[in-house]
Structure 1
Amino acid sequence: MNPLNSLFDSLVTKRIVATVSALLVIALGCGAGIWQLSRANTKIALAANLLAKQQMPILNANTGTWALEEASERRMIARGQFIPEAAIWLDNRPRPMPAAGASASQAGFYLMMPLRLEARDEVLWINRGWAPRNNENRETLPSVKTPAGVVNVEGIVFAHPGKVYELGDGKPSADVGKPKIEQNFYLVAEGSLRGWTQAPFILREEEAGLNDGLLREWAPLTSGVDRHYAYAFQWFALAVCGFLFWLITGLRQYWRQRAGNGV
């Protein structure tokens, strides 16, 4: 028999199950690796787009009515007075930028608080920042300071503060008389519940040197890119290992057959 035909027979024909299994492992590894690279590229593109929008002129929430489409991811300044009694604490939010030695999974709250805009009959919800959860008693809210007078708040516009998985219908509690602990924030539902005219977005407050008990060192959108690259490497390595295992075991079988035939 022709040596090439004999080799093909040993590697493929007599090992159909092994060949199909190897092809599946290679396809899975390559596909998952390409997907991880795509995720990394998407994050890099989003970060570049956000940076470009932040370099545009700063919007003023008090001087016009802004649509989400024109204000999204742009810097904005707002002047008004906080309404602390309507605060909403969003639970199960990881610390944006873990401190040195701290666990990246440290859980806490985002503090959502409405700001009644000065000289306008409109409310703008502010993501004031992150505070750690009391691990002994979940119902104990972090101690934060809220200025009583008119304040200027500068930040970046987003459609929402981010979402987490939750059980139930997701409807906000009808009790508006005290601060609430929620899993997610529903802008339209909150406006309907309170009868407010609201801006169609939220403003994520940026760090301004305030000592109010809240952390505003927000993680960049490129956070996790290195992790995607590491995952991609692992998936591609799996594909290579699958191919090498199939090839080496096939060659060993081929050489054993040749030795047995006295070739």
Structure 2
Amino acid sequence: MDYPARRFGLRFWLVTLAALVGIAVTASLGRWQLSRAAEKEALQAAIDSQGQLPALDAPAMLGAADPQALLHRPVRLRGLWLAERTVFLDNRQMRGQPGFYVLTPLALENSSTVVMVQRGWVQRNFVDRTALPKIPTPAGLVDIAGLVVPAPSRLYEFAGEDKGTIRQNLDLGAFAQETGLPLWQQSVQQTGEDGAGLLREWPVPKTGVEKHYGYAFQWFGLCALLTGLYVWFQFVRRPAVRRFARHG
């Protein structure tokens, strides 16, 4: 007689324990990725809703208690370009081509505050890296429309490459100390039609929610695989092998 104690021995319970742990871990990781996806969707919805709000003027923008809360909010500003402080950020792409992001400080009208404006993108000189394109910059008061954004994302840089007109990255706080300009905490990404030889097809801010759904699918798929393998080897194939050995 084949007693349960013999059918379900130590090996069976060790395999069962390992399978349950694996199933629990992978299912938990899948649920965690879904929760991260939900958070990212909420963040993306907040970004989208910010972009639909009415544009702020300079006094309203500067009067905000938390500049961070204004990210992706439209603004309309009036001021003077400080062309001599223009910075070209290297190795930035647009339309699949490498070039420069052109950033120029804007001294706001009726204010002592200066805002760093990401004016657009221009293609670089592939023969001479130090040859800068000529960007027309009006000398009088200008009106611009844009979005409140952080400084451009940082790229890998070698030591000593954060000075001069051509730079790899720009830290607003460090630039303010370097130049003595009273820079606002955030920057503004100029929008509207291309102009002055600059393209403004800025990348749309994405939170990467698709990545989390992909990871969740992988974890749940692994969970299902572990479950299927456990059932197959412990309850389907194993009894069949035992029956074959008994009657073989």
Check whether TM > 0.5: yes
Which residue of the partner structure matches residue 146 of structure 2? 155
- Of residues 198, 205, 211, the one that matches 2:183 is 198
Change in CA separation of 1:93 and 1:234 when aligned onto 2, cut-off 3 Å: farther
Written as runs of structure 1 = structure 2, the 5 A alignment for 1:108-119 is 108-119=99-110
Deviations, residues 85-115 of structure 1 (Å, cap 9, x unaligned): 32333345454xxx6xx6xxx6554332211
Contact 2:191/2:200 (8 A) holds in 1: no
RMSD of aligned Cα (Å)? 3.5
Which residue of the partner structure matches residue 79 of structure 1? 78
Letter of the 1:228 partner, please give it: H
Written as runs of structure 1 = structure 2, the 5 A alignment for 1:105-184 is 108-131=99-122, 139=129, 143=133, 145-149=135-139, 150-166=141-157, 168=159, 172-173=162-163, 175=164, 179-183=165-169
Unmatched runs of 5 consecutive residues or more in structure 1: none
Change in CA separation of 1:86 and 1:232 when aligned onto 2, cut-off 3 Å: same
Letter of the 1:181 partner, please give it: R
Instruction: Measure how far apart 1:119 and its partner are.
Output: 3.4
Change in CA separation of 1:111 and 1:23 when aligned onto 2, cut-off 3 Å: farther
Unmatched runs of 5 consecutive residues or more in structure 2: none
Is 1:51 the counterpart of 2:48? The answer is yes
Change in CA separation of 1:21 and 1:146 when aligned onto 2, cut-off 3 Å: farther
- In structure 2, how many angstroms separate the alpha carbons of the residues matched to 1:138 and 1:87? 19
Q: What TM-score do you get using the length of structure 2 for normalisation?
A: 0.76
Contact 1:116/1:124 (8 A) holds in 2: yes
Secondary structure at 1:216 match in 2: coil
- In structure 1, how many angstroms separate the alpha carbons of the residues matched to 2:14 and 2:98? 47
- In structure 2, how many angstroms separate the alpha carbons of the residues matched to 1:211 and 1:196? 25
Identity between Structure 1 and Structure 2 (%): 29
- In structure 1, how many angstroms separate the alpha carbons of the residues matched to 2:161 and 2:85? 16
Contact 2:106/2:116 (8 A) holds in 1: yes
- In structure 1, how many angstroms separate the alpha carbons of the residues matched to 2:21 and 2:98? 39
Letter of the 2:80 partner, please give it: Q
Secondary structure at 2:240 match in 1: helix
136-145 or 39-48: bigger deviation: 136-145
Instruction: Measure how far apart 1:25 and its partner are.
Output: 4.3
Is 1:242 the counterpart of 2:239? The answer is no
Deviations, residues 124-152 of structure 1 (Å, cap 9, x unaligned): 00122344566x56935674633323322
Larger RCO: Structure 1 or Structure 2 (Cα < 8 Å, ≥ 6 residues apart)? 1
Which residue of the partner structure matches residue 257 of structure 1? 242
Instruction: Measure how far apart 1:242 and its partner are.
Output: 2.3
Contact 1:207/1:216 (8 A) holds in 2: no
Contact 1:36/1:231 (8 A) holds in 2: yes
- Of residues 46, 61, 72, the one that matches 2:58 is 61
